[in-house]
C-alpha cells in the first residue's frame, strides 16, 4: 500500500513535526491561528469516542474530555495556582496525564510532560529547578514502587511532611508550592490527590475560567525537556501556535481523517507524540487508542485488533521486539495501513519484519533531535533522515564557522528554521527568544537531491593530533559488524587526545587483548586507521535507549573506564 502515499510524515522527540512534500515550502502557511483551548472547544458537543485507554478500560468522548478538562482546570486554580504558573506532569500514557496537560492549557498554566521514572532525587530536583515549577503532578513510576516520586520529593524537601496542602515552603525548591499525587490510595502529608483537585471544581468556578479568546496564539503553552543524549536536558519553550500548527501539518498532509484509528506505543511525555496523538482527534475527528500506560505495551496487538486500528506509532527498537513476538504468535496485522516509526533510524531487519508481518504498511521515521525532516518510501531509512517539509527549512554551514557554502556531500552544521510565522522562544529560563534559525547541534551532509544524512552530534566530533577530523561514525559502523561485540562507541576526551573505542563484548567470557587485536586487524584490512586505545564495558550509559557519549567521555576522564 506504500505506493499509494504521495507524502510520508514523521515526528521527532523535541516537538518538531516533520515530513516531505513534492511542492517546495511555501512562504506562508495558511493555518488558523488558535490556542489549544479554542481547538478543544470546537468538539465540545460531540459524543463520539475520541480516546480509548485500553488498560484502564476507559473510553472518553469528545464532550467528556471537554468537561473533564474544564473541571480539572477550575480545580487547579481553586487550590491556589495562578495563570502563568508552571506545572510539571510526570506520567506516561494515562488518561489523566492527557487531561492534566489540556486542563493546564485551559487554565492559562504552562505545562511540561516528563518521564516519571526519575532514577534519583538529584535528577528530579534539577528538573524542578530548571523549569521553576510551582506544581508537580506525580503519576506512577512503573519502574519503581508506587510512592517513588513522593519519596524523592521528601529527600529533596523534608518540609513537605510538615506543610499544609498548597503551601510548601522548600529551602531547596523555593518556587514549588503544590504537590499532587495521582495514586488515589497513597495519601501523604502536604499533598493533594488528583481527585481532591477535581472536587474543588464547581459550575461557578468553571464559568470564571480565564477568557482564552483574548490570548495570543504565540503565548507560551509548554516547556519541554530535551532527551539529554548529548548533555544535561534543556527545557524548550513552545507556543500554542507551534504545537497546533505542527500537529495540524501532519494530520492534514498525511490525510488523517475521521476513519482513522491511531494506536500509540510511544510515551506522550515526548511532546511531539502528545501533539500528534492528543490533538489530532480534535483536528480530524479520528480516534486514538492507548493499549497501556507503559511505553512498550504487552497487549499492543490485541488492542490493535480489538479497536481495528489503522495506524500504529512506534519506534524501531520497540517495533522490532513487538514484531518478533507477533511472529511467534503467528499474528497478522491485517487491519494496519500505516506504521509511523519515530525517533530512530531503522535497521534492515525491522524493515523486513514489517513487510513480513504487515504487507499493507507504509512506514515513516525521523532522527531524534529537533530536525523537521522526513523521507518517503524511496528513502534509505538506514542512513538518511529525509528532506524539510513545507513550513520548515534546513541549511548547512561550514564546520569552521566561515560564511562559505557547504558543497554537496560535504559535512556541515545543521540549522533548522522554525515553523513559518513563529520564532524559537528559547530554552528556559529565557523564553523570549526571537531567533528564526536554530542550531540543532548535529553534523550532517546533503546529497544532490537535498536528502540529509545526520552523521554525528557536534559535541561528539573527534580531532586527532594533527587537528584532522576523525570520521568516527564510519569506524563505529565497521567495528559493529564484528560478531564478537554487541556495540562500540568511538570517543575522545578532547582535541589531540587518544581516539578510544569503547566496546561491549557479546560474551562475558572474552579475552580482551585478543579481541582488541582482532578489531585493530579489522580496521587495517578495511583501510581504516585503528583507534589509539580500546576499552571494554558491560553496557553504555543511556537515556530512553539513546547512548550518552558525553557520559562515556566523563567516565574516561574520571578513570571509571580503563583503557589499554
Q: DSSP states of 420-434 as a string?
A: TT--B--BTT-----
Q: Are strands 58-61 and 387-388 parallel, antiparallel or unpaired?
A: unpaired
In angstroms, the CA 435 to CA 288 distance is 35
Closest CA to 368 of 545, 109, 152, 232: 545
Q: Identify the pLDDT of residue 1.
A: 35
| More confidently predicted of 546 and 335 | 546
Q: Identify the pLDDT of residue 283.
A: 94
pLDDT single digits (tens) 199-244: 999 999 999 999 999 999 999 999 998 777 667 778 888 889 888 8
pLDDT at 81 over 70: yes
pLDDT at 18 over 70: no
Q: Identify the pLDDT of residue 365.
A: 32
Per-domain residue ranges for the chain?
2-28+222-456, 63-221, 461-558
CB 560 within 8 A of CB 524: no
Where does the pLDDT of residue 449 fall: very low under 50, low under 70, confident under 90, or very high at 90 and above?
A: confident
pLDDT single digits (tens) 121-168: 999 999 999 999 999 999 998 777 778 999 999 999 999 999 999 999
| More confidently predicted of 332 and 454 | 454
DSSP string, 268-332: TTSHHHHHHHHHHHHHH--EEEES-SSSS-TTHHHHHHHTT-SEEEE-HHHHHHHHHHHHHTT--
pLDDT, mean of residues 89-115: 97
Q: What percentage of the chain reaches a pLDDT higher than 70?
A: 80
In angstroms, the CA 313 to CA 368 distance is 15
| More confidently predicted of 282 and 496 | 282
pLDDT at 378 over 80: no
Q: Strand, helix or coil at 533?
A: strand
Where does the pLDDT of residue 513 fall: very low under 50, low under 70, confident under 90, or very high at 90 and above?
A: very high
For 364, the grid coordinates are 515513516
pTM: 0.80
| More confidently predicted of 366 and 503 | 503
**How many beta carbons lie within 10 A of that of residue 7, not counting itself?**
18
Q: What topology is assigned to 461-558 in CATH? A: GMP Synthetase; Chain A, domain 3 (3.30.300)
| More confidently predicted of 310 and 375 | 310
- Domain 63-221 and domain 461-558, same fold? Reply is no
pLDDT single digits (tens) 24-76: 433 344 455 789 999 999 999 999 999 999 999 999 999 999 999 999 999 99
Residue with cell string 461557578: 204
Where does the pLDDT of residue 377 fall: very low under 50, low under 70, confident under 90, or very high at 90 and above?
A: low
Q: Which CATH architecture describes the domain 2-28+222-456?
A: 3-Layer(aba) Sandwich (3.40)
Q: Identify the pLDDT of residue 28.
A: 40
pLDDT at 402 over 70: yes
CB 271 within 8 A of CB 113: yes
Q: Identify the pLDDT of residue 401.
A: 81
pLDDT single digits (tens) 176-199: 999 999 987 767 889 999 999 999
Element housing 442 (H / E): strand 437-446
Identify the burial level of 433 via C-beta atoms within 10 angstroms of its C-beta, where 0-12 means exposed, 13-18 middle and 19 or more buried: middle
pLDDT single digits (tens) 288-341: 999 998 867 778 888 888 899 988 888 776 677 666 766 666 666 666 777 777
Average pLDDT, the chain: 83
Where does the pLDDT of residue 482 fall: very low under 50, low under 70, confident under 90, or very high at 90 and above?
A: very high
pLDDT at 79 over 70: yes
Q: Identify the pLDDT of residue 346.
A: 57
Q: Which CATH architecture describes the domain 63-221?
A: 3-Layer(aba) Sandwich (3.40)
Amino acid at each position: 500500500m506504500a505506493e499509494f502515499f504521495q507524502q510520508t510524515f514523521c515526528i521527532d522527540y523535541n516537538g518538531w513535526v516533520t515530513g516531505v512534500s513534492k511542492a517546495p515550502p511555501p512562504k506562508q502557511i495558511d493555518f488558523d491561528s488558535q490556542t489549544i483551548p479554542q481547538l478543544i472547544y470546537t468538539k465540545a458537543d460531540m459524543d463520539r469516542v475520541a480516546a480509548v485507554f485500553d488498560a484502564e478500560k476507559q473510553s472518553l468522548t469528545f464532550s467528556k474530555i471537554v468537561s473533564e478538562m474544564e473541571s480539572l482546570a477550575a480545580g487547579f486554580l481553586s487550590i491556589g495556582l495562578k495563570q502563568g504558573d508552571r506545572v510539571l506532569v510526570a506520567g506516561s500514557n494515562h488518561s489523566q496525564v492527557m487531561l492534566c496537560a489540556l486542563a493546564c492549557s485551559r487554565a492559562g498554566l504552562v505545562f511540561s510532560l516528563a518521564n516519571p521514572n526519575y532514577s534519583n532525587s538529584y535528577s528530579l530536583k534539577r528538573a524542578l529547578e530548571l523549569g521553576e515549577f510551582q506544581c508537580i503532578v506525580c503519576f506512577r513510576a512503573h519502574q519503581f514502587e508506587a510512592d517513588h516520586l513522593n519519596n524523592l520529593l521528601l529527600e529533596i524537601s523534608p518540609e513537605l511532611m510538615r506543610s499544609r496542602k498548597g503551601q510548601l515552603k522548600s529551602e531547596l525548591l523555593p518556587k514549588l508550592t503544590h504537590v499532587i499525587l495521582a495514586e488515589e490510595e497513597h495519601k501523604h502529608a502536604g499533598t493533594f490527590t488528583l481527585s481532591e483537585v477535581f472536587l474543588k471544581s464547581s459550575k461557578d468556578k468553571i464559568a470564571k475560567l480565564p477568557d482564552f479568546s483574548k490570548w495570543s496564539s504565540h503565548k507560551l503553552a509548554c516547556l519541554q525537556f530535551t532527551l539529554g543524549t548529548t548533555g544535561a536536558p534543556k527545557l524548550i519553550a513552545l507556543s500554542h501556535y507551534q504545537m497546533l500548527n505542527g500537529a495540524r501539518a501532519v494530520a492534514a498532509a498525511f490525510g488523517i481523517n475521521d476513519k482513522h484509528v491511531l494506536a500509540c506505543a510511544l510515551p506522550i511525555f515526548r511532546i511531539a507524540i502528545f501533539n500528534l496523538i492528543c490533538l489530532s482527534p480534535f483536528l480530524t475527528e479520528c480516534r486514538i487508542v492507548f493499549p497501556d500506560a507503559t511505553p512498550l505495551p504487552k497487549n499492543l496487538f490485541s488492542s490493535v485488533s480489538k479497536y481495528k486500528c489503522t495506524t500504529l506509532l512506534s519506534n524501531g527498537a520497540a517495533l522490532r521486539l513487538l514484531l518478533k513476538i507477533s511472529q511467534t504468535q503467528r499474528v497478522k496485522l491485517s487491519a494496519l495501513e500505516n506504521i509511523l516509526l519515530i525517533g530512530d533510524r531503522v535497521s534492515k531487519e525491522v524493515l523486513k519484519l514489517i513487510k513480513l508481518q504487515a504487507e499493507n504498511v507504509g512506514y515513516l521515521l525521523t532522527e531524534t533531535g529537533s530536525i523537521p525532516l522526513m523521507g518517503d518510501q524511496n528513502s534509505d531509512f538506514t542512513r538518511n533522515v529525509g528532506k524539510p517539509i513545507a513550513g520548515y527549512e534546513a541549511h548547512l554551514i561550514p564546520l569552521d564557522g566561515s560564511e562559505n557554502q557547504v558543497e554537496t556531500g560535504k559535512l556541515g552544521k545543521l540549522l533548522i528554521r522554525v515553523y513559518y510565522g513563529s520564532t524559537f522562544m528559547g530554552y528556559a529560563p529565557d523564553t523570549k527568544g526571537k531567533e528564526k534559525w536554530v542550531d540543532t547541534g548535529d553534523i550532517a551532509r546533503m546529497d544532490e537531491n537535498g536528502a540529509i544524512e545526520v552523521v554525528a552530534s557536534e559535541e561528539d566530533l573527534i580531532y586527532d593530533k594533527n587537528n584532522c577530523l576523525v570520521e568516527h561514525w564510519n569506524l563505529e559502523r565497521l567495528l559493529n559488524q564484528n560478531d564478537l561485540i554487541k556495540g562500540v562507541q568511538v570517543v575522545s576526551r578532547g582535541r589531540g587526545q587518544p581516539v578510544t573505542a569503547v566496546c561491549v563484548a557479546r560474551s562475558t567470557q572474552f579475552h580482551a587483548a585478543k579481541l582488541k587485536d582482532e578489531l585493530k586487524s579489522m580496521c587495517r584490512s578495511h583501510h581504516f586507521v585503528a583507534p589509539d586505545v580500546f576499552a571494554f564495558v558491560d553496557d553504555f550509559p543511556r537515556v530512553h535507549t539513546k547512548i550518552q557519549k558525553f557520559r562515556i567521555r566523563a567516565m574516561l576522564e574520571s578513570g571509571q573506564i580503563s583503557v589499554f
